[in-house]
Structure 1
């Protein structure tokens, strides 16, 4: 037990105060992440949309996310990560207050698109900010700390969101807007004029193509496509999985919120420890490949209807997949970029995940509505195997 605690504490050493503050801002912002996990349930239950119509609107979120990720990377390279993050947080908040008033399919689709467009410009700017404030030897830990904060917030947001949804769905949107505003205020006043570790990191990190556009970096483009395939599978968590809980297991919003909150607590509790051990014991390629395969295992387990415990066990495996895959994908991106194109590389990495927001809900809801959830989970498992093989090939290509 003492050895376990020592390893856990070692995982946090060396992180700068700004890195911790970035995590705090992210925690506050994600504590209000109530809308997206319940958006499909909101549309099918309150607005009486079909599952396929809900999938189309969720895909509009993905289209906005793709546009926002590209735009965020472009703007970050030109105006800096501080300005883009500040504008994103302050402009996103009022959109949450407007969304409950939009109930027709066209207006809601446009509102969701606008929300994701503005909110997702935050992602590449935030990734550049992490690399700016973290020391070179602690980049992976800094990304993991940020994700730990995201998941701690995510353990609170859905649980609170499930309670608020049982009272009124409108409260979901208002709560999300308020926390976004609070996060923006804290970020602005702390990071205004704050300096980072940029100069030291430039001297220590070897960049393969320091001035090349990421869109001309063929191995990285292939890597990004595989990240998209992984994310398409993983993001069933936010799209079809809550609908599966509702339609197959007949769970209430509060019960769904508790399962999602459990996932946030698992990642919060284990990510820094697992990443710390994985960095020492395994190569980056091995960690990402194992994480990808675990994603498929988690969804295939859902085909065994043996009670609600299987839902918790499945999402626990999915959490391990997330812990192993996503932070190291960000590290590959950070180490592949140079000073003048960090925003572009981080933007492409964010674009890879945002693109999955378009494909994942559309494919997931279509397969579930046409062939059933069983076919969806088996298909997701098969896709992760193909993706893992692709990662193995691409990492060999990068070594060359």
Structure 2
């Protein structure tokens, strides 16, 4: 036990002060993660939308995410990650406050698209910040620390949102706005005129040797890797679209009960991610880590079809959390190490684009599969697609290594 604790503590050593400051900003921002987990429930319960309409609105959210991810990557290379992150956080505040004022399908679709567009310009810029401020030897752990902050916030946000929703769904939008505003102010205070670490010598030599930096959109092995990231995300993002509806429709959970189980997912990652990533870095190759993580996620969705009460739901979420720890941080590491210093924004933007595209595909097909074939079919299909994605990671990462 002492050895395990020592390994866990060791996983935090060597991280730069800037990496910790970025994690604090992310923690504050994600503590307001109340809207997206309950957006489907809000639309069906409060606005009276059909399941197909919910899928359409969530698809608009994904479309805004696609545009925001591309725009964020492009702007980061043009004006720098600081300006992009600060503007994204501060502009999100009035948008969150405005969304509950719109009630019909067309206006909700438009507002959710704009909100997602503005909010998701933050992602590639933030990833570039993590890569720039991290020490080269622990870049994966720096991304994991950032994700730990995300999930610590996410373990609080949905739980708070579940209780606020019992009074009024409008309060989840107000809470999200408050968190984004505080995060923006804290970010500006922490990183005003703060410069990143010096570029590693190997990266400098690599950059100097190139007449023109390669574009990620012409990097075929990386495009193949990004497609696998997209397929993984199509499956994983069911936790934000159809899984809350599954909890409500099949297991008859209330909003506070759904908030607790979604918060449990984040809590598991907070407890174990740094430890799991630290061990995986030392004992597993990147390709094995991604494959094992995909397999565990596949098992977790399969368990949703085992109708053994709420205890099985918590087991499934626990396994999904372990699988997530073995995949998402290493996806970011592969992307950061593939890019040159002057194309980090573009590479992070393309990687974020793969997640954003999944935000379109996942709710659109997920809600329609449920409407026509039921939840069991959705979970079997999701489990199978994750196994296929694991094979895809095996071949694409091997090719990237060559």
What TM-score do the two structures reach when normalised by structure 2?
0.97
2:198 and 2:381 map into 1 onto residues whose CA distance is 43
Distance 1:205 1:327, change over 3 A: farther
Q: Does 1:246 align with 2:248?
A: yes
After superposition, the C-alpha distances for 1:100-137 in whole angstroms (9 at most, x for unaligned) are: 10110000000000000000000000000001111111
**Deviation of residue 395 (structure 1)?**
2.1
**Which residue of structure 2 aligns with residue 264 of structure 1?**
266
CA contact (8 A) 1:292 1:384 kept: yes
After superposition, the C-alpha distances for 1:156-207 in whole angstroms (9 at most, x for unaligned) are: 0000000000111000000000010000000001100112213346558978
After superposition, the C-alpha distances for 1:254-299 in whole angstroms (9 at most, x for unaligned) are: 0000000000100011000000000000000000111111111111
Range with bigger deviation, 68-77 or 382-391: 382-391
**Which residue of structure 2 aligns with residue 104 of structure 1?**
104
**Deviation of residue 385 (structure 1)?**
1.1
**Which residue of structure 2 aligns with residue 61 of structure 1?**
61
**Superposed counterparts of 1:1-400, under 5 Å:** 1-200=1-200, 203=203, 211-400=213-402
CA contact (8 A) 1:205 1:335 kept: no
Distance 1:204 1:13, change over 3 A: farther
CA contact (8 A) 2:199 2:341 kept: no
Q: Give the gaps of 5 or more residues in structure 1.
A: none
Distance 1:63 1:343, change over 3 A: same
1:38 and 1:161 map into 2 onto residues whose CA distance is 8
CA contact (8 A) 1:301 1:310 kept: yes
| Runs of 4+, deviation exceeding 6 Å | 204-210
CA contact (8 A) 1:136 1:201 kept: no
**Deviation of residue 386 (structure 1)?**
1.0
1:116 and 1:31 map into 2 onto residues whose CA distance is 17
Q: Give the gaps of 5 or more residues in structure 2.
A: none
2:244 and 2:190 map into 1 onto residues whose CA distance is 37
CA contact (8 A) 2:29 2:183 kept: yes
**Deviation of residue 399 (structure 1)?**
2.9
SS in 1 for 2:199: helix
**Deviation of residue 340 (structure 1)?**
1.1
What TM-score do the two structures reach when normalised by structure 1?
0.98
CA contact (8 A) 1:136 1:205 kept: no
1:206 and 1:101 map into 2 onto residues whose CA distance is 52
Distance 1:256 1:205, change over 3 A: farther
Distance 1:307 1:206, change over 3 A: farther
CA contact (8 A) 2:28 2:182 kept: yes
Q: What is the total number of aligned residue pairs between the two structures?
A: 400
